[in-house]
Structure 1
Amino acid sequence: MKIRGLFFIILFFCLSIAKSQDSTVIPDFILKKEDGNELQVHHYFDSIQSTQDSAMLSEIYNTLEKHGNKNKWPLLQAALYKSRGDLYFNQNSFVNAIHSYQKGLDLCEKYELELTQGLILFEMAQVYEAIDKKPEALESQLKAYSLLIKHDSEYAYNSLSHMADIHYSSKNYDEAIEIGKQAINLIESLPPHQTDYSKYISVLNTIGIAYREKNEPDSSIFYLNHAAVLAKEKGFEFWEGLALGNLGLMYQKMGKINIARELVLKDYRISLYHDQNRSAIKSAIEIGKMYQTEKNFNDAKHYYDTALFLIDNEIIQNKLPLYVRHAKAVASWYEAQGDFINAFKLQKQYIAMSDSLSAQAIQLKLAEIKATNDFDTQVNAIKLLTKNGELQKQKIQKQNLIIIASITSLLFIITTAILIYRQLILKKRDHLLLEKHKDKIEAQNTELEAQSEQLSHQNKLIQHINTNLEQEVQKRTIKLKKLNEELDTFIYRSSHDIRQPIATILGLENIARTYVNDGRVLEVLAKIKATAASMDNMLWKLQMSYLLNHDHNQLAEIQIEPFLLGIISIYNDYITHRNINLTTQITPFSITNNPELLKIVLRNIVENALHFSDETSPEVEITGYEQEGEYILKVSDNGEGINPNQVEDIYKAFYKANTKSQGNGLGLYLAAKAADILNINIDVNSSFDKGTTFTLSIPVKA
């Protein structure tokens, strides 16, 4: 007995210690439900997130959730949703983070918790920016600022600072400057002990580089110099170097090389001291450019070599952009000294790496689009499941009400039947059986009516669910259409950007011919030129595909003869190379049509005739004349013709009817598609070993 008593005393003592330790984890102001101070509650959650591991946090959250539900404390419940969302965000679980934040927002809107609502919107903006959804990030941050400015200036300043950074990264420099200045005015109104000078310096730097991009040197110098001075005063050496480097780049744009070099050198040394090699690499390349501008080629080469050494030894995932920047700079260094051979080699290396970088950018953009689509799909799925859960819960509640009502009705009917039965006993016994049957029939009818009402209610509920599903399908269809439009625009811009290095290749080929007399080298250059021209033609056809979907209504008056001759001039080199006998009989005439789409039709038809003309004695004839309100244009070649079985397929995308074809099978497909838009009829007449004639009937007015 004594041992058992001692055991219970020890157990009680241990439980007391455990209880006292639990109470130290959760402070009294939360346990006592002090609703007034939202900021104090959020500071508590921030403190436990920074000091506790995930397992302990989960235990604390579960305890607080029970406490909040038991005491019906909306502030604690909303703060819990925010804190859990923060934890999901730190774990890169973005869908769960948004879902948790949205639950918190619903509580805040219901109970008018403005400060908590603003803090949740601020964190949601961080999530949207992390998945490259900048419009949604800005929208969330604007809502957050409108709420936070009413309650806490420090949080409101952080919101403005974030918006300024988003606008700058989106190249909205005017908005970045305007919002950055608002942030500065706000932070300067705070007492010194509440001022986060690193964020203050960051905003000054953002405004300065935005003015630099707008080519407004006075304003840029003012803000960048302010940032550098403040960073030095407050002991933020790396920020000082960054601001000085940006200031140096501004002076470089102004042509003040000596001042610029001194400032960028400081940034270079500070970056090396703080092991910020990527920043040091960029600074070294810029210093090399400055020495090169002054024709100090030895010092320029020294910094270029230093940059290359740092790139080679830098431990990062993607060095390609740095190698591209270095190769471009060294190529210009060789060219400035007249060493065109090495310049050309470096230029080729730079172009090859740029092409790889462009390919990586395309893959990254496609991955971002897919990730965004997956993110939206998952968020919508969670919303739909939540909605379905609520509908199911409501359905169960209504069914329970129906059951209770049915039982109540049944009890009422039984009670009534008993009373009637007792009354009928006093009457004639002859009517007893008849009255019993009557009561049963009435009870059955009541039950049938209740069942009918239940079925009617369920049908209405099913119709409501179907309506919601149709709305969800429409929303997803709109989002999918938007994604397709983004992908279409991306392909157009990518093909346009990739044509620029191809133009560079063609230009370099022309330059190289002036320095080379070797026939074999000239032959290689000719093949390079042909290959580049083929790539340029392919990219132009990608741009054609974009124009076919977007450029239908821009009409203009077109003079047929100069318009067609301009198209033919594009192929002058090809005509000369193959010694094609090209004859034209074009009656001058004016039509009204879309120039870009008409150019797609004529260019692809003419290119097809030139390409498939006879190999030994190529001939192409183009005739045009007006006839009965239409302009008839015939393009004929003397090639081997088209197999009659393949005539119906020549307008299909990527179809090649001839092994001689070296294109991508898009020319006639694009021509036919543009002709259909412009109401142009295309007729083809082909004979084996005699050639092919395309006849176009073009309306005088589109």
Structure 2
Amino acid sequence: MKKLNLIIFFLSSNFLAITPSFAQNNYEQIEQIYHNYRSEIDNEYISEDLKVDEFLNGIPSDSEISEQEIKDVIRLLVYLENSDLNQKAINLLKTLIPKVKKSEIFQAFLFQTLGKIYHHQDELVSALENYLKASHRYESNNEFYPLVTIYRSISRINTEGQNYNQGLNYAELAHQIFQENPPRNRRDSILLRSIIDYKGLNNRRLSNHKKAIDNFNESIKMSRMLKDTVFVSIAKGNKAVSYFDLGMLDEALPLLIEDYTNSMKNEVYGSAFNAGIYLARVYQAQAKIEKMDSIFREIEQIHSEYNFSNPVAMTDYFLIAAALAENKGDYKKALDFYKEFEKVDLKRDSIAIQNDISGMQEKYLLDKEISKLELLQQTNELQASHLKLRTAFLIIIAIALLVVLWYVFRLRFKNRKIDRLNELLEAKVSERTARLLEINKELDTYLYRASHDIRRPIRTLLGLNNIAQLTEDNFQLKKLFHSVNVTAMGMDKMLFKLQMAYELNTTHDISKVDIEELIRECIDDMALEIKEHNSQISIDINPKANSVLANNSLLRIALDNIIENSMTYKNEGTNKIEISTDRGNHFFYIHVKDNGFGIDEKYFNDIFKAYFKISNKSPGSGLGLFLAHKAISFLEGEISVSSKVNEGSQFTIKIPLNPR
């Protein structure tokens, strides 16, 4: 409830500023207006029958909101404390923002408030979008102190999204504003300290350890001036992490102990947990296993009570736990911790949120440039009125020149036609030659990669054979034979793809292909893989799109590889794949939709390249989608992809109804 009241505070302070009579007030006046009205609004009776949708529907879409409606908004927000606050408050803000276009500062307040709500809900991209909109309006109105708060929030989002360069950039922008406009009070000083801390955190993550240590020293100095002993210890802990990264364990240890002790004493358990993690890592590096085990048991108790989720801290937590379990000989428990580490590490390494946050910032910068261009365009339009007569005169001259040129081109037309035919012939020869060179290059690449890819499973089989000769345990032998089977299946898949690559360069006859029969043949042949991946495949054949003129083998290659890709890159749980067909006036479509990992848009052009993988950790050979794309290109078709990360992908095969 305390958190909800805080959100209500920001919403209330912003909305009270919307009324037209307040239109000329600045940021500081808006805050004062809120304090003057708070007791009056809080003491009003709130009807339980007050509904959000009814209130919004009662506001005209083309008018500014009135002062009485402002009070109704505040009353409504108080009512929302005990209901679905976040989503209804978001809807309320989105409806009100377009109604305050006449005051950029008030509109900035609303965008800032909307950003804070999204930030509380960990919707970082939406929060960033609204913070950037608010910052643009504060910048244009020279409202520096709220702009500092916005820059600090943007820096925090980039830090959380692992965009450390952008996080450092916005922290430095905020720091620069404070250098030109010194803190006015204790609250400003605390905000400045927070900005310096974010500079230190981002410098440390970028391995700029000297700068990071200087930042944390400055934070320590400010915390002492503010007589804030807790943050003195926390800043020392941050400084100690830089020392640890530099291998200066003796310098890091006392600072971490101080941070951990004071954080526990003052019940700042998040800071205590992080300090404890690095204490354990120091003891591990010093081979003091008993101390490492002792401090880990303490932070394990903290984690059990507060369930921290910071991926950076949790990866270190699980690695320490695994090391301790392994030291005690509990290899099963160590393996469990390593698996948890891999889950968190995969989440931490996810590029999705980094790309989304970076994309949002690029979009914001683009919007700013577009605004400048629009202003320039308006200036050009004013100048254009003075150029109309000159333009008309130039058009007349241009028409006369075109008539003359037309006669000249008529005389040269026949010679050009002959030259064009010669050029087409030469282009055809060049195209054939280039094609042959491309095929030879692909064959060289296949042979080179195949030699390496075949040796890997062979070495694995030889290794498993050597292990099998050293054990007589039936259970272990059964596991070894299973590994042999998995390795052999992988080699078989790889060789089958090479066979597909060979078939692509043979003659491709065109005939009528029964699509449903072809799809079912693919599914029957992949029955073992479907069972292994817990996949459910549904087929929806449009009665008007059940057959097409094409090459059966090429379509089979494309479908095999796309379905295999959908099964390989699946999320946990049931892997659902939907295959459907459609028919247009000129093209035939086959859609393959899954609920797997999804693909970031920046890789759409790369996934069809030979041996391309998004990550070195990705399974598969990197040939599947390349072979599918190449097979469809022989049918004069194309494959397109639409995808959302963590929601799934849809591949669409498009081939002409009347191939040449």
TM-score normalised to structure 2 length: 0.50
Could you report, residue by residue, the CA deviation over 1:456-478 in whole angstroms, capped at 9, with x for unpaired residues? xxxxxxxxxxxxxxxxxxxxxxx
Paired residue for 2:455, among 547, 565, 569? 569
Determine the C-alpha separation between the residues in 2 that align with 1:302 and 1:657.
Answer: 49
Higher RCO by CA contacts (8 Å cutoff, separation 6 or greater):
2
Amino acid at match of 1:271: S
Pair 361,85 (structure 1): closer, same or farther in 2 beyond 3 Å: farther
Distance 1:170 1:568 in 2: 39
SS of aligned partner of 1:652:
helix
Is 1:327–1:346's contact at 8 Å kept on the other side of the alignment?
no
Q: How many angstroms does 1:37 deviate by?
A: 3.5
Where 2:211 maps in the other structure, the secondary structure is helix
State the alpha-carbon separation in 2 of the partners of residues 97 and 554 from structure 1: 61
Instruction: Determine the C-alpha separation between the residues in 2 that align with 1:228 and 1:131.
Output: 31
Query: Is structure 2 residue 156 aligned with structure 1 residue 165?
Result: yes
Residues 235-274 of structure 1, C-alpha deviations (whole Å, 9 max, x = no match): 2233222211111101100111111111111110111011
Describe the superposition over 1:155-179 as per-residue Cα deviations: whole angstroms up to 9, x where unpaired: 2221221111122112222222222
- Give yes or no for the alignment of 1:45 onto 2:37: no
Q: CA deviation at 1:340?
A: 7.8
Alignment equivalent of 2:267, drawn from 262, 271, 275:
275
Look up the equivalent residue of 2:144 and give its one-letter code.
S
Q: 1:44 corresponds to which letter in structure 2?
A: I
Whichever residue aligns with residue 631 of structure 2, its letter is N
Deviates more, 1:326-335 or 1:231-240: 326-335
1:204 shift after superposition: 0.9
CA contact (8 A) 1:248 1:264 kept: yes
Say which is worse superposed, 50-59 or 94-103, in terms of deviation. 50-59
Contact 1:331-1:346 at 8 Å conserved across structures: yes
The aligned residue for residue 93 of structure 2 is 101
Amino acid aligned to 1:43 = Q
The residue number in structure 2 matching 1:558 is 443
2:276 maps to amino acid: A
- Offset, 1:94: 3.6
Residues 1:197 and 2:189 aligned together: yes
Q: What code does the residue aligned with 1:120 have?
A: L
Q: Counterpart of 2:223?
A: 231
* TM alignment of 1:229-628, pairs within 5 A: 229-312=221-304, 314-316=305-307, 325-333=316-324, 339=327, 341-342=329-330, 344-354=331-341, 557-559=442-444, 560-572=446-458, 607=492
**Alignment partner, residue 222 of structure 1:** 214
- Alpha-carbon offset, residue 232 of structure 1: 2.1
Question: Match for 2:178 among 187, 194, 198?
Answer: 187
Amino acid at match of 1:607: D
Q: CA deviation at 1:349?
A: 2.6
Q: Give the conservation status (yes or no) of the 8 Å contact 1:183–1:203.
A: yes
Q: Deviations over 1:356-384 (max 9, x none)?
A: 75899999x99xx9xxxxxxxxxxxxxxx
Change (3 A) 1:161 1:658: closer
Contact 2:19 2:70 in 1 (8 A): no
Moved more, 50-59 or 173-182: 50-59
Which amino acid is 1:114 matched to? E
Note the alpha carbon deviations across 1:521-543, whole angstroms, 9 max, x for none: xxxxxxxxxxxxxxxxxxxxxxx
Contact 2:156–2:198 (CA under 8 A) maintained in structure 1: yes
The correspondence for 1:678, drawn from 608, 623, 630, is 630
Q: Distance in 2 between matches of 1:45 and 1:555?
A: 75
SS in 1 for 2:136: helix
Specify the SS of the correspondent of 2:522: coil
The offset of 1:219, in angstroms, is: 1.0
Instruction: Decide whether aligned partners of structure 1 residues 657 and 262 sit closer, same or farther in structure 2, where only a CA change above 3 A counts.
Output: closer
Structure 2 CA distance for partners of 1:279 and 1:41, relative to 1, 3 Å = closer
Paired amino acid for 1:175: Q
Match of 2:203 in 1: 211
Contact 1:79–1:104 under 8 Å retained in 2:
no
Alignment partners' CA distance in 2, 1:564 and 1:32: 73
Would the alpha carbon gap of residues 610 and 308 (structure 1) be closer, same or farther in structure 2, given more than 3 Å must change?
same
- Provide closer, same or farther for how the CA distance between residues 83 and 185 of structure 1 changes in structure 2, counting only shifts above 3 A: farther
Amino acid of the structure 1 residue aligned with 2:115: A
Matched, 1:178 2:169: yes
Unaligned runs of 5+ in 1: 1-28, 370-552, 580-602, 612-621, 633-644, 683-702
How far apart in 2 are the matches of 1:289 and 1:167? 26
In structure 2, how many angstroms separate the alpha carbons of the residues matched to 1:55 and 1:653? Answer: 70
Question: Alpha-carbon deviations, 1:643-700, whole Å to 9, x = none?
Answer: xx999734128942799x8676897753987644222899xxxxxxxxxxxxxxxxxx
Q: How far apart, in 2, do the equivalents of 1:120 and 1:257 lie?
A: 47
CA contact (8 A) 2:112 2:134 kept: yes
User: Structure 2 vs 1, CA of residues 142 and 630 (structure 1 numbering), >3 Å: closer, same or farther?
Assistant: same
Would you say the 8 A contact 1:163–1:176 is kept in 2? Answer: yes
Q: Which runs of 5+ in 2 are unaligned?
A: 1-16, 357-437, 466-487, 509-515, 536-558, 565-622, 635-660
Assess if the C-alpha contact under 8 Å between 2:41 and 2:71 holds in 1.
no
Q: 1:154 aligns with which of 139, 145, 149?
A: 145
The match for 1:122 is 112
Q: What is the rounded CA distance, in whole Å, between the counterparts of 1:663 and 1:31 in structure 2?
A: 60
The aligned counterpart of 2:373 is: none
> What residue number does 1:656 align with?
527
Q: Which has the larger radius of gyration?
A: 1
Q: SS where residue 171 of structure 1 aligns? A: coil
Percent identity (aligned): 14
| 2:90 aligned partner, one-letter code | I
Cα distance per residue 1:542-581 (max 9 Å; x no partner): xxxxxxxxxxx999633244443333334326765999xx
1:319 is displaced (CA, Å) by 11
Whole-angstrom CA distance in 2 between matches of 1:49 and 1:139:
29
Kindly indicate which of the two structures has a greater share of residues assigned to helix.
1
Q: 2:443 is paired with a residue of what secondary structure?
A: strand
Aligned counterpart, 2:648 = none
Give me the TM-score of the superposition, normalised by structure 1.
Answer: 0.48
**After the TM superposition, which of the residue ranges 554-563 and 159-168 deviates more from structure 2?**
554-563
Give the direction of change, closer, same or farther, for the CA distance of 1:35–1:199 in structure 2 (3 Å limit): closer
For residue 236 of structure 1, what is the amino acid of its counterpart? D
